[in-house]
Amino acid sequence: MAGLHKSDFPNPVINWIDTRLPVFTLMQKEYGTFPTPKNFNYFWNFGALAVVALMIMIVTGIFLAMNYTPNVTMAFDSVERIMRDVNYGWLIRYVHMNGASMFFIVVYIHIFRGLYYGSYKAPRELLWMIGVVLLLLMMATAFMGYVLPWGQMSYWGATVITNLFSAVPAVGPGIVTWLWGGFSVDNPTLNRFFSLHYLLPFVIVGVLFLHVAALHITGSNNPLGIEVKSPQDTLPFHPYYTVKDSVGVCVFLLIWAALVFFYPNYLGHVDNYTPANPLATPADVVPEWYFLPFYAILRSVPNKLGGVSMMFGSILVLFVLPWLDTSPVRSCRFRPIYRQLIWVLVVDVLLLGTVGAHPPEGIWVVIGRVCTSYYFLHFLVVLPFLGKLERPLPLPESISRPVIPRGGGPLPGAAPAKPMGKP
């Protein structure tokens, strides 16, 4: 037997537990003294913010589920009952409803952070890929959650999105019938979506553990994109980053609260306050804002299978991003050309979002196609070639000495785990 863990916590109870199950030692190591690059900017808040958002969503969701009825004849009314009769039900529901938006805002900024500072590059490829899995899980959860109030947008959103799978050759229609558990979106569909909407957040928590575990193996990236070289480059996570994250959490909650209390329906769609009606499609079926860019990509391709493939491809391409980007330099700060192009990508995605909100006619079709093309061009063509063509600026010697020595090499030579041996 390995024997007891050696602990020396002053509190005897904590010590007793820790010698048998060293959770306190673990916390101390991973969140207390964990050496963290000292030069984080506020973009590094967003991982913590996403965790806060996930926790709030799970807690409010559990209480909503206590009063929600997953049945097509009662779902809409049960949500209205939560809003009107359950004590603070309106608060819990509006927090949850706007929470989906807040969660996506935070995660999108988190992803942008990763793109801008090259956090996906070796040795953090797996960390990044787990993150993409988290994004996919989040999207599935959000989509199914949106169906639950059983309004018009719930119903027609569910119909349109599940019908995407009918594009699969041969087995498509069979898959769609299987997803529905019937011949249209109906009670069996609502029941299984409720079940999965309750399950998936806990799957997200599980994958999140892997995401954090992988992060704590490689250590965090930082705005300079160079590896930590000495203890002078780092600070203990607590109190430096616990307090810095707390500032971000406060601002985040402030914005969330302002939405919930003063503009609770600002980000939602009015049609979802009309009960689902399988006989009448709303004037234009649009998803929630966080899906609009992907919806625009879907509609930009005139071919059904093509559109669906492009839409899924737009996220799947992120899985191979670590190998598409051939530049040895992580941070955009030292990539003069890419620093411009990443903003082109941001504008491109924002434009796609705008396109997704408009009916697919006239100018919007054209803009949608241009933007879709650029999106894939960016990842599949620009990134691989730019890494070879671009001349990066000289990198600083270390985080604690960001002064660039004259004639110093462009690479952080001492970075140990860096397989990209390109000049």
Partner 1 sequence: MRGLSLPAATLLALCGLAGPARAQESQTPPLVHQHWSFDGILGTFDNAAAQRGFMVYQQVCSACHSMKQMYYRNLTGIGLNDDEIKAIAGSVQVPGPLDENGAPTERPGLPSDHFKSPFANDTAARAANGGALPPDQSVLEKAREGGADYIFAVLTGYSDAPAGMKMQQGMNYNRFFPGNQIAMPQPLHGNDVTYTDGTPSSLDQEAHDVTTFLAFAANPELNGRHQMGVKVVLFLAFLTGLTYAVKRKIWADVH
Partner 2 sequence: MADTVTVPPVGHVTEAPRRDLLKLVTVASAAIGAGAIAWPLIDSMNPSQDVLALSATEVDLTPIAEGSGITVLWRGKPIFVRHRTPEEIKSAEDVPLNQLIEPQPDSQRVKPGHTQWIIVIGICTHLGCVPLGNKPTDPRGEWGGWFCPCHGSQYDTSGRVRHGPAPLNLNLPPYAFETDTKIKIG
- List residues with catalytic annotation: 216, 220, 244-245, 288
Q: Among residues 26, 77, 303, 350, which is the contact residue for partner 1, using CB under 8 A?
A: 77
Q: Among residues 83, 91, 136, 315, which is the contact residue for partner 2, using CB under 8 A?
A: 91
Question: Which one, 170 or 262, has the nearer CB to partner 1?
Answer: 262
Q: Please spell the DSSP secondary structure of 300-341, one letter per residue.
A: HSSSHHHHHHHHHHHHHHHHTHHHH---S---GGG-TTHHHH
* Interface of this chain with partner 1, residues 302 to 341, rule: CB under 8 A: none
> Shortest CA distance to 420 belongs to which of 39, 3, 8, 123?
123
Instruction: Compute the distance between CA of residue 127 and CA of residue 25 in angstroms, rounded to an integer.
Output: 24
Residue 303 in contact with partner 2, rule: CB under 8 A: no
- Minimum CB–partner distance for residue 28 and partner 2 (Å): 8
Pairing mode of beta strands 234-236, 35-37: antiparallel
Indicate the helix (H) or strand (E) that contains 127. helix 125-147
Instruction: Compute the distance between CA of residue 390 and CA of residue 325 in angstroms, rounded to an integer.
Output: 12
Question: Which one, 64 or 352, has the nearer CB to partner 2?
Answer: 64
Q: Among residues 4, 59, 258, 270, which is the contact residue for partner 2, using CB under 8 A?
A: 59
Question: Which one, 350 or 377, has the nearer CB to partner 1?
Answer: 377
Question: Which one, 80 or 125, has the nearer CB to partner 1?
Answer: 80
Q: How many residues bind partner 1 (CB under 8 A)?
A: 44
* Interface of this chain with partner 1, residues 365 to 394, rule: CB under 8 A: 366-367, 369-370, 372-374, 376-377
Angle at 116 between CA 115 and CA 118, to 5 degrees: 65
Give the Cβ contact number of residue 281 at 10 Å. 14
- Both tokens of 119, joined, read 């956090």
Residue 254 in contact with partner 2, rule: CB under 8 A: no
Residue 216 in contact with partner 2, rule: CB under 8 A: no
> Bridge-partner residues for 234, per DSSP?
37
Residue 176 in contact with partner 1, rule: CB under 8 A: no
Q: Which stretch binds partner 2 (CB under 8 A): 32-40, 277-285, 348-356, 369-377?
A: 32-40
Which entry of partner 2, partner 1, none binds 92, CB below 5 to 8 A by partner kind? partner 2
Angle at 41 between CA 40 and CA 45, to 5 degrees: 90
Question: First-to-last CA distance in the chain?
Answer: 50
Q: Among residues 6, 84, 388, 391, which is the contact residue for partner 2, using CB under 8 A?
A: 84
Which entry of partner 1, partner 2, none binds 274, CB below 5 to 8 A by partner kind? partner 1
Sign of CA dihedral 298, 303, 306, 308: positive
Cβ atoms 332, 117 nearer than 8 A:
yes
* Interface of this chain with partner 1, residues 268 to 307, rule: CB under 8 A: 270-271, 273-275, 283
Report DSSP state, residue 275.
Answer: B
Residue 66 in contact with partner 2, rule: CB under 8 A: yes
Which entry of partner 2, partner 1, none binds 3, CB below 5 to 8 A by partner kind? none
Report DSSP state, residue 236.
Answer: E
Residue 234 in contact with partner 2, rule: CB under 8 A: yes
Which entry of partner 2, partner 1, none binds 374, CB below 5 to 8 A by partner kind? partner 1
Instruction: Compute the distance between CA of residue 378 and CA of residue 330 in angstroms, rounded to an integer.
Output: 17
Residue span 199-238 as binding mask against partner 1, x where in contact by CB under 8 A, dash where not: ------------------------------------x---
Instruction: Compute the distance between CA of residue 241 and CA of residue 30 in angstroms, rounded to an integer.
Output: 12
- Phi and psi at 94, nearest 5°, equal -65, -35
Residue with tokens 């939405």: 259
Q: Among residues 16, 178, 209, 261, which is the contact residue for partner 1, using CB under 8 A?
A: 261
**Secondary structure class of 38 (helix, strand, coil):** coil
Residue 242 in contact with partner 2, rule: CB under 8 A: no
Question: Which one, 92 or 129, has the nearer CB to partner 2?
Answer: 92
Torsion of CA 201, 206, 210, 212, to 10 degrees: 60
Which entry of partner 1, partner 2, none binds 271, CB below 5 to 8 A by partner kind? partner 1
Instruction: Compute the distance between CA of residue 106 and CA of residue 45 in angstroms, rounded to an integer.
Output: 9
Residues of 22-35 as b/e, b for ≥16 C-beta within 10 angstroms? Answer: bebbeebeebeebe
Question: Which one, 129 or 292, has the nearer CB to partner 1?
Answer: 292
Question: Which parts of this chain interact with partner 2 (CB under 8 A)?
Answer: 29, 33-35, 38, 59-60, 63, 66-67, 81, 84-89, 91-92, 231-232, 234-236, 246
Question: Which parts of this chain interact with partner 1 (CB under 8 A)?
Answer: 38, 77, 80, 83-84, 90-91, 235, 239-240, 243-244, 246-247, 250-251, 253-254, 257-258, 260-262, 264-265, 270-271, 273-275, 283, 361-364, 366-367, 369-370, 372-374, 376-377
